[in-house]
Amino acid sequence: MTVSRYASVDTSGHTLRGDVAAAYLRAIKGGMPKGGVDVFQRSWNEQAQLRDNYLHHGGPLAAKPSWTAPHIDQRAFDMHTTTAGKYAPSAAHAWACKGGVGSSKPKAGEKLRINEYGFYRSVPSERWHFEYKASLDKHRAADLTARLKALGMTLRQFQKSVGLDDDGIDGPLTWSALLAAKVPVVIPPVVVVPPVVTPTGPQPVDFRFGTYNAQLQRFGGGSDAADAMFVDDVLGVSVLAGQEVDEDQRDEIRATTDMLVFPLNTVAIFWYPGKYEHGDRIEVDFGTPYHGMIGTELTSKKNGNTFVAASVHIRPNDAIGGTDAHKALGKKNDIDKVIAKLAKYPRVAVGGDWSTATARAQMEKAGYKLVTPYVDTYDKPGVQHLDFVFVRGLSDRTGGSEHETKASDHDGMLANLTLPVK
């Protein structure tokens, strides 16, 4: 009996390496929708053609063919994520990326739902590429035990029965044979499932809060449409703190997202009217054309609780002038004004361009928590921690995420928050 190294994963004849195919099928059994994959296996000749197209015909980047390449080895697959240049994930990709941000490039430490089945995003520039690593697979051992028990054999007995070396290692050939094995039919016992009890009354509300310095076009920023697409397709927020957004940029974001906005100079706070009622404007003006704080108290239409959403742009060095000590004092005073203005509100989310890394200590001393990554968010040389979201009285679910864009010299920052019950 000849056992193939590869096993079919669908009715169209797509294959993966035996152990990888088993993991992929386990993910489907665990709830991942079928389909939605653009690339499974790739032959040596197909990879060579892609490489030639890249080198000589202007095609996309493609690696040299190698028997250890993920697609040729059939230990990886590419999910569908983009249609007509916009992020449009397949149902499978959306399922796989729960727990993280599928629309962004892979981030260190991200925890996606599909990770427990052994798949991770192994190429830093490709959000669609998933590769298998056995050490990540939390279901492989249990599946192996169940299959062997149903066959009434040990691993070595099964390997010997299909003509494989009985080495006791569940490699690709063993898994291909297991997937093809005829397992005796076992009628499962009747399981009485208790009724699902639906909670009554108001519940906590999860929401996404983002901050984004869009970089005014007069300072070298991208198009208004690019800014709006980034906010809508990548950040996907229900509340946005915007900085360096002039009237044209605000109008484009509003038209694309259907959010409402309160502006102050080129600072703005946006929110979805379908989810929140809003209160009066809350303002702090720093006396320049581009800086300040604007906020409003939002009331959730789902649970009736309130929080203040605010956007801030602290003055940078060139807007303050003077000595280094004078500039540092000016920024500290700006942040103190923001803290004082928001002090009476029990629940606050404030995001923005804080113009200084010392903002973190100052805000945390005032009782705020940083809920976005503490990373370099500015394209210019040097390490510059400038863009943050801070909260008080709200819960942080995942620690937030950073998102790059060519539309601005700043990264967008996303916080995943929960508004408690009133």
Say which DSSP state 207 is in.
E
Does a structural domain hold residue 198? no
- Residue 40's nearest CA partner among 11, 72, 88, 84 is 72
Assess if residue 180 is contained within a domain: yes
Same domain, 321 and 408: yes
Q: Are residues 299 and 409 in the same domain?
A: yes
Per the domain annotation, does 304 fall within a domain?
A: yes
Q: What is the mean pLDDT of residues 46-61?
A: 84
Statement to judge: residues 179 and 221 lie in one domain: no
418 compared with 57, residue with greater pLDDT: 418
Q: Is the pLDDT of residue 361 over 90?
A: yes
Residues 165 and 282 both lie in one domain: no
The answer to whether 88 and 95 are in contact (CB under 8 A) is no
Q: Are 246 and 252 in contact (CB under 8 A)?
A: no
* Percent of the chain at pLDDT exceeding 90: 76
Q: Please tell me whether residues 188 and 209 are part of one structural domain.
A: no
Residues facing 59 on adjacent strands:
none
Do 180 and 209 form a contact (C-beta atoms < 8 A)? Answer: no
pLDDT at position 367 over 70: yes
Residue 65 DSSP symbol: P
Helix (H/G/I), strand (E/B), else coil: 198:
coil
pLDDT at 125: 86
Q: Are residues 297 and 273 in the same domain?
A: yes
Query: Count of residues for the chain?
Result: 422
In a domain? residue 342: yes
pLDDT tens readout for residues 158-213: 999 989 999 999 999 999 999 998 766 555 677 788 888 777 788 999 999 999 99
Write the single-letter amino acid at 300: S
In this structure, the answer to whether residues 399 and 283 fall within a common structural domain is yes
In this prediction, residue 22 carries a pLDDT of 95
**Is there a single domain that holds both residue 264 and residue 318?**
yes
Spatial distance between the Cα atoms of 419 and 369, rounded to a whole number of angstroms? 15
Domain that holds residue 350: 205-419
Output b/e per residue, 107-139; b: 16+ Cβ within 10 A: eeebebbbbbbbbbbebeeebbbbbbeeebbeb
- Do both 260 and 379 map to the same domain? yes
Q: How far apart are CA 253 and CA 230, in angstroms?
A: 9
Mean pLDDT of 114-124: 94
**Contact at 8 Å (CB) between 308 and 271?**
no
- With cut-offs at 50, 70 and 90, classify the pLDDT of residue 398: confident
- How far is the C-alpha of 346 from the C-alpha of 339, rounded, in Å? 12
**Spatial distance between the Cα atoms of 179 and 4, rounded to a whole number of angstroms:** 11
Does the residue 238 lie in any domain? yes
Q: Looking at the structure, do residues 153 and 17 belong to the same domain, yes or no?
A: yes
Final residue before a domain boundary, out of 165, 193, 221: 193
Q: What pLDDT is attached to residue 182?
A: 75
Residue 312 lies in a domain: yes
Q: How far apart are CA 201 and CA 277, in angstroms?
A: 19
Is the same domain home to 160 and 32?
yes
Quick check: 113 and 96 in contact, CB under 8 A?
yes
- Ramachandran area for residue 303 (φ above 0: left; ψ -120 to 50: alpha; else beta): alpha
CATH number at residue 359: 3.60.10.10
Q: Which of 139, 165, 193 is the last residue of a domain?
A: 193
Kindly state whether residue 115 falls inside one of the protein's structural domains: yes
CATH number at residue 155: 3.30.1380
Domain end position, chosen among 193, 221, 243: 193
pLDDT confidence bin for 42, thresholds 50/70/90 = confident
* Number of domains present in the structure of the chain: 2
